[in-house]
Amino acid sequence: MRGHRLVPVLAVIAVAMTACAPLGADDDVDCPAVAYSNTARLTLSEPRSGLLLELSGEAGSEPDATETPVEFRRTGDQSLQVVEETGVDDLTGNSATGWTAQLVGAYPTVLYRITDDSRTVVAEGSVEVDWVQVGGTPECGGPREADITLPG
């Protein structure tokens, strides 16, 4: 029974210590070493079936034309090398209902290419992403989400 009384006491002490440590501009914040993935939901402005999406994160605000060829992650790709080159960890879904992409960074711009079954390009370009933080803390960051509409 002694151990049961100790747990609530420790919990109260931990909460009290946390509450007594206000964060100010001069305070250092120790953030946990957690890697967040960010979720982008992508839909076509005019949904239709039978199209594939290729996606890549772009670190700058504008695509860099000097970096050719641009590496894309295609719907259904599973290679880890693709993640390193594109910044896209996972890409699932379809053109009729939309896709969900897990990105390893909150890229300000994503590059996209939409193709048909014969790999003919239907649409391609870049789109600015308006990320919204959905977890974590303002000081340490956290996972983000975005809804993106692509021309199609």
pLDDT for 29: 78
Average pLDDT over residues 20-38: 66
The verdict on residue 114 lying in a domain is yes
- Residues 46-58: tens digit of each pLDDT: 999 999 999 999 8
The verdict on residue 10 lying in a domain is no
- Residues 103-147: tens digit of each pLDDT: 988 899 999 999 998 989 999 999 999 999 998 888 888 999 999
Phi, psi of 4 (to 5 degrees): -70, -35
Residue count of the chain: 152
- Print the domain residue range for 97: 38-150
Which pair of tokens denotes residue 141?
């960051």
The verdict on residue 119 lying in a domain is yes
How many structural domains does the chain have? 1
pLDDT for 48: 93
The verdict on residue 101 lying in a domain is yes
Give yes or no for a cis peptide into 69 (omega within 30° of 0).
Answer: yes
- Of 6-15, 65-74, 85-94, 120-129, give the range with the top mean pLDDT: 120-129
CA 59 to each of CA 66, 105, 121, 123: distance values in angstroms, whole numbers, following the listed order: 14, 9, 24, 21
The verdict on residue 17 lying in a domain is no
Q: Does the global pTM surpass 0.75? A: no
CA 149 to each of CA 34, 99, 135, 144: distance values in angstroms, whole numbers, following the listed order: 29, 10, 23, 17
pLDDT for 42: 96
The verdict on residue 138 lying in a domain is yes
The domain that holds 59 is classified in CATH as 2.60.40
